[in-house]
Amino acid sequence: MLSEEKAQKSGREMRRFYRWLWGLHLLAVVILGASLFPMLAFFYSVWKLMAPYSPWLKLLAVSFSLSIGFFLFGTALIFFCVFTKNLLGFKISPGLFPMYSLESLRWMGYNSLILLANGAFLDVLRISPFQTLFYRLMGAKVGRDVNVNTSGLADLSMLEIGDQVVIGGGTALICHAFDRGFLRLAPTKLGSRVSIGLGSVIMPDCEIGDGASLAPCSFLAKGSRVPPRAVWGGNPAHDLREERRSSG
């Protein structure tokens, strides 16, 4: 009897999960459609304005209107993603949650907005004020003079990044992990003047001290603590200076 009830509950949760997944796809369509409107309205206005002119001038004006329109689209996309997060209450907090729980579904909704903004706009504007602005509006604590050359940051409201941090291209910095049917969420903190090499992976619940460096293509396991001014690297990441002293 218990196993039958458990199976029915699991079936309901799976159906709810797939309905939620399709709902997020529909939400993406709505957000993209609303964000495209300013761009297309500007393009249409320029097209009408240039109607009396020669085809070459018209093409030149249209080309510039499309490039300007792209930034109008991106600005609107950032606004609608942040507005949707606040409207629908997509919030995440540290903890251990069943994979199909309401907390996990909210986490999916929250990160789907980040993926949408990155994929449609921010990924071509790395190391830009648009990127930093979006991270802050989504809840990340980002210091001054931060350079992020990747679109691999997730769970932004659980990230804390200090001043003058450099994050290399292709880096994945996440605050979530799946563990035997559960979603684990834990914050990650980068101190000031931290340098993350390209292609590195930083898992949840990590802390990197001020002035520390992580070598390219490193894997920092969850729960790691990198001391200030240390140099770590490898898979799993470890103290490279200590390794050299030991081998010497």
Indicate the domain borders of the chain: 2-247
Give residue for tokens 């490193």: 218
| pLDDT above 80 (res 15) | yes
- The pTM of this model reads 0.91
Q: Which residues of 174-204 are buried (b: 16+ CB within 10 A; e: fewer)?
A: bbbeeeeeebbbbbbbbbbbbbbbebbbbbb
Distances in Å between the alpha carbon of 242 and those of 50, 238, 246?
67, 9, 6
Task: Give the CATH number of domain 2-247.
Answer: 2.160.10.10
pLDDT band at residue 248 using 50, 70 and 90 as cut-offs? low
Tokens of 219: 């894997």
**Mean residue pLDDT across the chain:** 93
Instruction: Please list the alpha-helical segments (H only) found in 89-165.
Output: 102-120, 129-137
Angle (CA) 57 62 64, round 5°: 100
Once rounded to an integer, what is the mean pLDDT over residues 174-195? 94
d(C-alpha 165, C-alpha 44), whole Å: 42
Query: 1: pLDDT confidence band, cut at 50, 70 and 90?
Result: low
